[in-house]
A and B are shown apart, each in its own frame.
Chain A
Amino acid sequence: MIRDITIGQYYPANSILHRTDPRVKLVGTLMFIVSLFLFDTFYGYLMVTLFLASVIKMSKVPFRFIVRGLKAVIVLLLFTVTFNLFLTQGEILWQWGFLKITYEGLRLAGFMAIRLTFLILGSSLMTFTTTPNQLTDGLEKLLRPLNHIKVPVHEIAMMMSIALRFIPILLEETDKIMKAQMARGADFESGGILKRAKSLIPLLVPLFVSAFRRANDLAMAMEARCYRGGNGRTKMKPLKYSKNDYLAYTVLFLYIALVITIRILENHF
């Protein structure tokens, strides 16, 4: 099941998008998400679709791989669509008992489905083309101004990258503990939800103990290697904008400007 979730995974390839500075991609994703919620007309969405399609094309990530990420959120998607479809008031198109579909509901459900799908596609495209380390580096640099209001930006970024590094190790460990307990007759698979949740307790306790031990060891190893927070630290791979990154920023700003113009025009005519 865990393997099905492609959101947050990195897809190694050599494309313009992979080489783009992570800060550009972070800002770009944010702008894209904003643009999704600005529209409720056909032409607006045509434009968003075109934008997303061309970015996907540039990323060299196979379309099938990207779509697989949607599987994980299909329940949420159906949920939202159903609620929008049946619970919106307006001009009634079809009615059966207390269930009714309105024109407004249909419209809203459609747009909501598109928005959510695009939201997932757009943000997973960012993680497909950016390694977790680049992502945390980008976040650290983008959020640096928050240092002035005493937000420990470097520490948060460091915590994120360490957490990402330890996910596979802890998964492996969970597997090991599970097998060790199954060998002694533990049963994780049968019974109702409550029973299954209870059977996880003897799994979580040793996992937590070991995670704390690892954290302790890691902290000592980091100190032994002279780690003392972000001050006075240099970077092996410092983030530097290239010409392409400035170009990407320009394209992004043009895109968002266009989106806003269309929105204003729609409101007036």
Chain B
Amino acid sequence: MEMIKVKDLTFEYIRRDEDGNVESINTAIDNVNIKVSKGDFIAILGANGSGKSTLAKHINALLYPTKGSVWVNGLNTQEEKNLWDIRQSAGMVFQNPDNQIIAAVVEEDVGFGPENIGIPTNEIWERVEKSLKAVGMLEYRSHSPNKLSGGQKQRVAIAGIMAMKPECIILDEPTAMLDPDGRKEVISTIRELNKKEKVTILLITHHMDEVTSADKVIVMNQGKVVMQGKPREIFSKVDEIKSYRLDVPQVTELAFELKKAGLDLPEGVLTVEELVEAIKQLKKSK
């Protein structure tokens, strides 16, 4: 069964003037269809204003479709009785770590979600410990979040979602406000959760190097899904990606330029090691 199914989704931001007349309609999402299977690691790429965050909010039932529909775990987001089940099974991590941590102590913040869904006290403690361990923050359990680095705060936020035992985590640009070290921390935590805990991951980002290990990449532009496929397939089309105001990883671009200059290299090189190997092969064959 699919974890997430988005069917013919359209969403319009409607701006009204003081009398309530429609002033302008901004179509943020335009007829999008997406299917995500359980256990997948999906990356959604897009430049600013491509509608990727709006899409994420639909999956967590924070926004409702203008047209079309969204199912999470077989539940339609438009039916109000499903609301809390959906939010529990599809947790969401936001961009700014400061604005999503509620409590003044790390462990209490992780316990906030389970408290809300009425988990008994003993089990909350178990869950808090387990999820802090899963993101590698157990030793900071009694710290104040204000004293943590950005990457650490974001890991606490992820632990807060994990403690609700979701089947799927949606991360809305979780690394946008972090330094390179913090970004690495967060991305490797996400990968770990996907592999070890089998959590479905939907990572929304505009950093290319974060998506190379995803199972599938979805590229959005102006509210539409414009590309879909394995990272390698996507990154072999360097020119098309650039036309959506996105960058490809440096090494991919280098390989692409070398290929254009006449070297016989494979398409869609994703890592430095791959490129080194390909160039070695090239030398041998000469």
Contacts and interface: CB of A to CB of B under 8 A. Distances in A.
A133 B105 contact: yes
Contacts of A236: 107-108, 111, 114-115, 121, 124-125, 128
B160 interface: yes
B204 interface: no
Given A214-B98, A234-B124, A225 B104 contact: no
Contact of B104 (A132, A226, A238): A132
B121 A165 contact: no
A227 B62 CA distance: 13
Interface residues of A, number: 28
A222 interface: yes
A16 interface: no
A224 interface: yes
A161 B103 CA distance: 7
Contacts of A226: 84, 87-88, 113, 116-117, 164
Nearest to A12: B142
A28 to B, nearest CB: 23
In order of increasing CB-CB distance, the 8 nearest A-B pairs are A236-B111, A221-B100, A217-B99, A226-B116, A225-B113, A224-B92, A236-B124, A165-B104
9 contacts: A161-B102, A161-B103, A169-B146, A214-B96, A221-B92, A222-B112, A225-B113, A236-B114, A237-B111
Given A165-B102, A235-B115, A237-B108, 17 more contacts: A133-B104, A162-B102, A217-B100, A218-B100, A221-B99, A222-B112, A224-B60, A225-B91, A226-B84, A227-B112, A233-B115, A234-B120, A235-B121, A236-B107, A236-B108, A236-B111, A236-B115
Interface of A: 131-133, 161-162, 164-165, 168-169, 214, 217-218, 220-228, 232-238
Interface of B: 60, 62, 84, 87-88, 91-92, 94, 96, 98-105, 107-108, 111-121, 124-125, 128, 145-146, 160-161, 164
